[in-house]
Structure 1
Amino acid sequence: MPGKPSQEKQVEMGAVENGAGEDLGGLTAEELRQGQEAALALEDMMALSAQTLVQAEVDELYQHVRPLGQGRFGRVLLVTHRQKGTAFALKKLPKASTTLRGFLYEFCVGLSLGSHSAIVAAYGIGVESVDSYSFLTEPVLHGDLIAFIQPKVGLLQPAAQRCAAQLASALEHIHSRGLVYRDLKPENVLVCDPACRWVKLTDFGHTRPRGTLLRLVGPPIPYTAPELCGPPPLPEGLPIQPALDAWALGVLLFCLLTGYFPWDQPLAEADPFYEDYVIWQASGQPQARPQPWLGLTPVADALLWGLLDPHPRRRSPVSSIRGYLGRPWRQRAGEAEEAPQGEKGDPE
């Protein structure tokens, strides 16, 4: 369940400093320090937040207006303050499926990210009721991104580029805090306006400090990076890196441009679409694109080949998207392909 960091471990500093970094997914001593500092800061914030929880029933403080979202572990409601009339989004997590530590963890991760235009703003108000824990964030009223993605079409190209730029910026901000988001998907991207000009990342229950050791739980999905699908370098698991988010961003971007996934799971032996992609990328022949990639431009190929490199140490960072904005990512009907020259991540 999200928010149980006590069951996870950080890579120990000595292992990296003694030369084991290459075996631990390329984690450097500085990267490890950043993750450990983030973990310690979250522990301190959780201890303080536990002492300041408001003890009350939600209905005593807030008027329920309408549901905003429903997840596996809780639901989000639009509420107004009964005295001041201020509107909030209230995330409510039942105690039957959420520990106090799990609640405090997600609550404090949101607070630790501070202010960013593409991240839902968290307010420092946590409420403990008889049967639930709740916290408040800014309300985002136009639903999540999945409702805007037209099957087999995706988004209009300008909207896709706007979303990509904003999400890359949000992930870059999270990584600068020593954290890895780990749950990028359309359902966790909230849309602020009907034209999909402004989006915000939400739901930080899976976010973890860099270097946290994790194992894949359950079968892989399209957003799962391939390094999580193989045997981990340590018995406890793989030390997570921002490259996991770069992979998920590449898959999401493909969905925004096409309206479907590039594959079901990143396992060549189990998924022929992924096998075709790996062979295509290794060939260095952008013209010989597999069927799911028809309709994209070589510029999009260059961007996605970087974000979706099966080798995490070669994978482009999320910030690489900035170098591809303002140029076509989709082919026009009858338009001849022309491979981009001299770009980082160029397929050639």
Structure 2
Amino acid sequence: MSAVKCNTQVLKRTFLCTKGLIYQLKAAAAQELDELCFLSAQSMPNLKVSEHFRMVKLLGEGSYGKVMLAVHRKRGTPMALKFFPRQSTSLTSFLREYNLSLSYCTHPSLTRALGIFFSTPSYYVFAQQAGLYGDLYSVIVSEAGVNEDCVQRVMSQLSGAVTHLHSLGFVHRDIKPENIFLCDSSCRWVKLGDFGLARAIGTTVRAVWYESPFCTPEVEPAKEAEKEMERRQNEGTEEEVEDIWISVEPCIDSWALGVLVYCLLTGCFPWEESTHDDRGYRKYKEWFDREAERDEKMRDGEWRGEEDADDYIIMERKQRDNPPPSQFEGLSPLVMTLLKELLHPEPKHRGSPEEILSYLGGPWLMETEREEKRKAEEAEKEARKMRERGGVEEELLREGRGER
């Protein structure tokens, strides 16, 4: 057996072992979470809220329940208390969210539980770090977004937070501006929260379609199934539609992060829903398919003259040759390349959240790119003037020394 073939087999076995180890670690994390939930269920106290906490104000509410800013009466510590109605919340789902936030959200941009959990006659409650400056949704200006530096700063933090969560074997599944909380008024420190939909990687769940740009395109069959069920109900047919099941994978979060980038930069959404019925998404998919075809030709060597070109120049050329849909007007080639990675229609080819880090520092808006080019041109002009002035002064010195 040749050395090359032997090394290839060793590398292949190493890769398979490493991959298997990763899956074992992720499975262990899911099992550990179940064990934590079982143990905490045995020790959950019953408390009267007013005896232990002073309520300050309502921070937010939704289908899950409500979040109140509170101060612990003995410690004087401010915290957020998350209330889950017992009538509509299972103890299992409450304990899963609490324990996941407490034990796994150790990244500085993940909202962490504080080790206080209890029940009342009406609610299950746990305490978590408080986002005192509201959520990201509250600072997004409609049809304008937020400052580009702020966008890159926020996405850098979220990239690290989501990558950390994935490394521990969990997918958030509900990334959106309302679930990203501000620790200061300038978005210099943000925290991703609300882990009610988080599940272990590889878990099989029923596909649920909902009308939102954050809903991934692979769930579109669930929309069709929903339509079919409505049709049968209207016709009085008792035959049920078979449920569609999908695997929970990190690519679900990648899609949401891509939509979030667009939302922060523009103050809009790229489409209402990621299905072929939506005109905005359909235009994007057509553009994406053309891009994929061009990339394939480049890999096959049909496109020449790109080998020595700078990466950004290649991005600019591609954007000129295949302009993005109108809703992406004003976005730079750099961020369009990032969006193409995160918003890949095929989940198995979707980029990871970590890839966001590779696109930081450059212009994400055409306006920023033009301003950077203008400044570079001005700097070059100034440098040229200094060089010319230096040459004249050198010439005068030489004349003064009688060298001419």
TM-score range, shorter chain: 0.7 to 0.9
Deviation at 1:211, TM superposition (A): 0.8
Aligned to 1:301: 336
One-letter identity of the residue aligned with 2:264: L
One-letter identity of the residue aligned with 1:57: K
Q: Deviations over 1:232-258 (max 9, x none)?
A: 9x9661111100100000001110011
DSSP 3-state at the match of 2:173: coil
Aligned to 1:150: 141
Q: CA, structure 1 residues 74+216, in 2 after alignment: closer, same or farther (shift >3 Å)?
A: same
2:195 maps to 1:187: no
Of the candidates 218, 225, 230, which is equivalent to residue 227 of structure 1? Answer: 218
Do 2:154 and 2:188's aligned partners in 1 also have CA atoms closer than 8 Å?
yes
One-letter identity of the residue aligned with 2:337: A
Aligned residue runs from structure 1 range 63-102, under 5 A:
63-102=54-93
Larger Rg: 2
Runs of 4+ residues over 6 Å off in structure 1: none
Deviation at 1:279, TM superposition (A): 1.0
Aligned to 1:251: 259
Aligned to 1:210: 201
Of the candidates 260, 266, 270, which is equivalent to residue 274 of structure 2? Answer: 266
2:249 maps to 1:241: yes
Q: Larger relative CO (CA 8 A, sep 6+): 1 or 2?
A: 1
One-letter identity of the residue aligned with 1:280: W
Q: Deviations over 1:199-231 (max 9, x none)?
A: 101100000001111233243420111122237
Deviation at 1:32, TM superposition (A): 4.4
- Over the residues paired in the alignment, what is the CA RMSD in angstroms? 2.2
Aligned equivalents of 1:186, 1:317: Cα separation in 2: 19
Q: Deviations over 1:60-103 (max 9, x none)?
A: 11110111111211111111111221111110111111121121
Aligned to 1:325: 360
Of the candidates 94, 112, 122, which is equivalent to residue 103 of structure 1? Answer: 94
Aligned to 2:284: 277
Aligned equivalents of 2:34, 2:23: Cα separation in 1: 17
Q: CA, structure 1 residues 104+256, in 2 after alignment: closer, same or farther (shift >3 Å)?
A: same
2:319 maps to 1:286: yes
Do 1:144 and 1:190's aligned partners in 2 also have CA atoms closer than 8 Å?
yes
DSSP 3-state at the match of 2:367: coil
Q: Which has the higher helix share?
A: 2
Aligned equivalents of 1:81, 1:301: Cα separation in 2: 47
TM-score (norm 2): 0.73
Paired residues in the alignment total: 309
Q: CA, structure 1 residues 122+334, in 2 after alignment: closer, same or farther (shift >3 Å)?
A: closer
Aligned equivalents of 1:107, 1:294: Cα separation in 2: 42
Q: CA, structure 1 residues 165+41, in 2 after alignment: closer, same or farther (shift >3 Å)?
A: same
Deviates more, 1:199-208 or 1:327-336: 327-336
TM-score (norm 1): 0.84
Q: Deviations over 1:178-207 (max 9, x none)?
A: 001000000000011111111101100000
DSSP 3-state at the match of 2:117: strand
Deviation at 1:51, TM superposition (A): 1.9
Do 2:26 and 2:200's aligned partners in 1 also have CA atoms closer than 8 Å?
yes
Of the candidates 120, 127, 132, which is equivalent to residue 136 of structure 1? Answer: 127
Q: CA, structure 1 residues 334+219, in 2 after alignment: closer, same or farther (shift >3 Å)?
A: closer
Do 1:247 and 1:308's aligned partners in 2 also have CA atoms closer than 8 Å?
yes
Aligned equivalents of 1:181, 1:225: Cα separation in 2: 14
Aligned to 2:166: 175
DSSP 3-state at the match of 2:125: strand
Deviation at 1:31, TM superposition (A): 5.5
Unaligned runs of 5+ in 2: 1-18, 224-241, 292-317, 374-404
Aligned to 2:52: 61
